[in-house]
Amino acid sequence: MKNETKRKMKERFGLRRDIFKEFLAEFLGIFVLILFGCGSVAQAVLSKGSLGEPLTIHIGFTLGVMMAVYMAGGVSGAHVNPAVSLAMVILGKLPLKKFPVYVVAQFLGAFTGSCIVFGLYYDALMDYTYGELAVAGENATTKIFAFSPATAKIFASYPAKHLSVLNGFADQVIATAALILCILAITDKKNIGAPTGMEPLCIGLVIMAIGVSMGLNCGYPINPARDLGPRFFTALAGWGMDVFRAGGCWWWIPVTGPMVGGAVGAGIYFLFIELHHPEPEKQEENSVQDKYEMVTMS
């Protein structure tokens, strides 16, 4: 009976076109990423460091990415990042016509994930801020545990006090390029690659590596959807348009920097590694006949 009900539901509601399935997979994947990632930041900030620290935030984003890839990888490839989608378009691994669909799904999923984190920690947020939702501004990264009322940093990135615009842009290009290089290496079956089913774990560990080595300047957003989607949410949820003005109008750097980094990473991997893979040997037309004759003559 259960199987029959499931079959009828699949016939009635199951999606037929791949692009719709991929949209939902990208949406759900980045939703989970934000739930675990921004949720870990919220717990650390709102508990004033008693239930979290930078390492737990790194772990939250690592596991968020890993679970997102496990969840969506078999359907859409689990890009969950417009920079990754752009890299795949450049390398011919994603049709250009699908690119805007993936990006829209990623932004909507990140926005929705922020809504859920906000609702989950609403009472704690109100208690922490006394109802005053302040924008973190330029000190968001360096003061994450300074217990100031600034809480916009829970959802989006803000630059450290020492960071210039040029250095911030370079930070995002380099970190995202490193991400793309590692993802391409992990998924490249003509290289060593990762064992089947272990790719999500390996990609999660890449996020951990980036977090512990490149997180000082601005908290390694490396994902336009992960940063801009939650930033739009904070603008609507009470923090106001200061989320776009803070840090010298910082918001555009974690949007454009990762896209440039995605293109750079794709180009470097192609030129240095993929271009030089040996072509598979072409099977000769008479190979099947030769093998047959060898068997019959023996």
Domain assignment of residue 170, yes or no:
yes
**pLDDT tens per residue across span 193-213:** 999 999 999 999 999 999 999
Model's pTM, two decimal places?
0.89
Domain assignment of residue 289, yes or no:
no
Mean pLDDT of 63-74: 98
Domain of residue 88 covers 14-136+145-277
Mean pLDDT of 94-119: 98
CATH number of the domain enclosing 253: 1.20.1080.10
* Per-chain mean pLDDT for the chain: 90
Looking at residue 264, its amino acid is: V
Q: Which of 185, 184, 179 is nearest to 261 (CA)?
A: 179
Contact status, residue 229 vs residue 81, Cβ threshold 8 Å: no
Contact status, residue 64 vs residue 223, Cβ threshold 8 Å: no
Question: 191-219 burial string, b = 16+ CB within 10 Å, else e?
Answer: eeebeeeebbbbbbebbbebbeebbebbb
Domain assignment of residue 116, yes or no:
yes
Domain assignment of residue 247, yes or no:
yes
Domain assignment of residue 291, yes or no:
no
* pLDDT exceeds cutoff 60 at 161: yes
**pLDDT tens per residue across span 227-282:** 999 999 999 999 999 999 999 999 999 999 999 999 999 999 999 999 999 987 65
Backbone φ, ψ for residue 141 (5° rounding): -75, -45
* pLDDT exceeds cutoff 80 at 90: yes
Domain assignment of residue 294, yes or no:
no
- Using 50, 70 and 90 to split pLDDT, how confident is the model at 294? very low
Looking at residue 47, its amino acid is: S
* pLDDT exceeds cutoff 50 at 63: yes
Looking at residue 236, its amino acid is: L
Domain count, the chain: 1
Domain assignment of residue 38, yes or no:
yes
Domain assignment of residue 125, yes or no:
yes
